[in-house]
Amino acid sequence: MMKREVNSINLLFPVLNERLRLQKGIETTIAYVREQVTIPCKLTILDNGSEDETPEIGKKLEEAYPEVTYVRVGERGVGVAFRKGIELNDCDIVGYMDIDLSTDLKYLGKTIEMFQQDPELQYVNGTRFSKESDTKGRKWYRKITSMGLVFLLKTIFHMKATDALCGFTFLRKEEAEQLVAESSQDNGWFYTVEFLLRAERDGMKICDMPVEWQEDYNTTVKVFKTIKNYIIQIHRLRKALKSEKKGA
């Protein structure tokens, strides 16, 4: 395979009403990349329609730091933010991280090194559920919903990865654009799950990377609503993949 350079990386941060965490998350990341990352690094804040002070904070961060770009997406959902970020991206590597930095930032440096050392690597998927992962403070009901989703994905789609919603995903630019073209227009969290499943289906070389992950105590989840949404989205994707297979 032809050598593929890794000369830049774009960190996408989908946010919605994150006035309490946005500034700290961005400034902590900037401090890390300025000290530990040797290639140009962009930070793109993708605002999903915040109704608090998030836009003002985002614009101030954009003015204060040359690495930061603030984008008002206009629609809610991680899926639409992720698509928009990939559409705007001009870096060799692109991916998204949670603004609460649940995944330890040292794995950002590790991810860049892996892409630089292995020209065939196409996708890095952070995982909380590998035997080598170190997950702290995970609430029991969130663990049940996440592990239940992984069980369903493995049973129905034969997913190889050990996690699908860690909030730490990075790809090469070309592969990211390819997966956007193949995937649905779902706006929610499940879009990132579909992204991973389609990457596996396409035979991409994926690193299922164990991470150190810290639960953010300020987040909430509606368990039954979450489970219902998972089932609906799994049914939709299963139907879509079957239709694509028949049409191939």
| Burial readout 212-241 (b: 16 or more C-beta within 10 A, e: otherwise) | bbebeeeeeeeeeebeeebeebbeebeeeb
**Residues sharing a CB contact under 8 Å with residue 188, sequence separation 6 or more, in sequence order:** 77, 78, 79, 229, 233
- Looking at 3.90.550.10, 3.40.50.150, 3.40.50.720, 3.40.50.1370, the CATH number of the domain 9-247 comes to 3.90.550.10
Report how far residue 117's alpha carbon sits from residue 86's, in angstroms, rounded to the nearest whole number.
23
Adjacent-strand bridge partners of 67: none
pLDDT, tens digit (0-9, with 9 covering 90-100), for 8-60: 999 999 999 999 999 999 999 999 999 999 999 999 999 999 999 999 999 99
> Which range is least confidently modeled, 95-99, 215-219, 233-237?
215-219
pTM of the model: 0.91
Using the predicted structure, report yes or no on whether residue 231 has a pLDDT greater than 60.
Answer: yes
Give pLDDT, residue 228. Answer: 82
Q: Give which of 156, 41, 44 is closest to 108, Cα–Cα.
A: 41
Q: Which two tokens stand for residue 200?
A: 């596996």
pLDDT, tens digit (0-9, with 9 covering 90-100), for 95-149: 999 999 999 999 999 999 999 999 999 999 999 988 888 877 667 667 778 888 8
Q: Is residue 144 a contact partner of residue 229, using CB atoms and an 8 Å limit?
A: no
Which phi and psi angles does 11 have, rounded to 5°? Answer: -95, 115
Using the predicted structure, report yes or no on whether residue 246 has a pLDDT greater than 80.
Answer: no
Strands (E), the chain: 9-15, 41-47, 68-72, 93-97, 123-127, 134-136, 168-172, 206-210, 212-214
**Angle formed by the axes of helices 22-36 and 106-117, to 10°?**
50
Strands 68-72 and 93-97, by their bridges, are: unpaired
Using the predicted structure, report yes or no on whether residue 239 has a pLDDT greater than 80.
Answer: yes
Give pLDDT, residue 3. Answer: 65
Question: Confidence class of residue 217 from pLDDT cuts 50, 70 and 90?
Answer: low
Give pLDDT, residue 154. Answer: 95
Averaged pLDDT for residues 226-245: 86
Q: What is the DSSP string of 189-203?
A: THHHHHHHHHHHHTT
Give pLDDT, residue 55. Answer: 96
Give pLDDT, residue 248. Answer: 59
User: 3-class SS at 146?
Assistant: helix
Give pLDDT, residue 219. Answer: 55
pLDDT, averaged across the chain: 91
